[in-house]
Amino acid sequence: MPSFDISSKVDLQTLDNAINVVSKEIKNRFDFKGAHVVIELNKKDFKLSLEADSEMKLDQIKDVLISRSMKQGLSAEVYDFSKEPYPSGKVTKQEVIVRNGIKQEDAKKIVKIIKDSGLKVQAAIMDDIIRITGKKIDDLQEVIQASKSWNVGIAMQFVNMKDK
């Protein structure tokens, strides 16, 4: 039976390149000359630490981060900006989590959407991926097309497509 996997992996090297491009661009921007800016990537925990003089500059850093990441091939949905920026002395800090892998609750949400869609496929959660199987490869392609309209808040990749 044909199958494919839905995953949400972030390539560490691509992420690191995007962070380096953002750091270089911010340092060269006129409005950031002499300003306190720190952009650090914790590669082990997939966390970004952002520091700037003000919340407005922090927002500008986030905009540059998203646009440069998209040019590197990363979706804007890999960044979790849900933690609020907080003042720390003279600077404003924010911790940004990089989503890597599909969490259990997101996987359940995706499987429910697939089952509710009425497509003739089966979905199974396997750790941090979702395996989709169907009788025809056309059914699998319908799932991929339908997934573009889902708003689950994670970047999805469709990998490991097998025919039989």
**14-71 pLDDT tens trace:** 999 999 999 999 999 898 888 889 999 999 999 999 999 988 999 999 999 999 999 9
Q: What is the pLDDT of residues 90-136, one digit of tens each?
A: 899 999 999 988 989 999 999 999 998 888 999 999 988 999 999 98
What pLDDT is recorded for position 61?
93
Helix, strand, coil in percent for the chain, rounding step 5: 40, 30, 30
Residues in the chain: 164
Tokens at 96, concatenated: 């940004």
**164 pLDDT exceeds 70?**
no
pTM given for the model: 0.80
Render 52-66 in DSSP notation, one character per residue.
ESSHHHHHHHHHHHH
CA dist 49 → 29, 61, 79, 92, 107 (Å):
20, 11, 12, 11, 27
Q: Rounded to 5 degrees, what are φ and ψ at 78?
A: -75, -20
**7 pLDDT exceeds 70?**
yes
What pLDDT is recorded for position 39?
92
Domains of the chain: 3-8+102-162 (3.30.70.860), 12-98 (3.30.70.990)
**13 pLDDT exceeds 80?**
yes
Helices (H) and strands (E) in the chain, counts: 4, 9
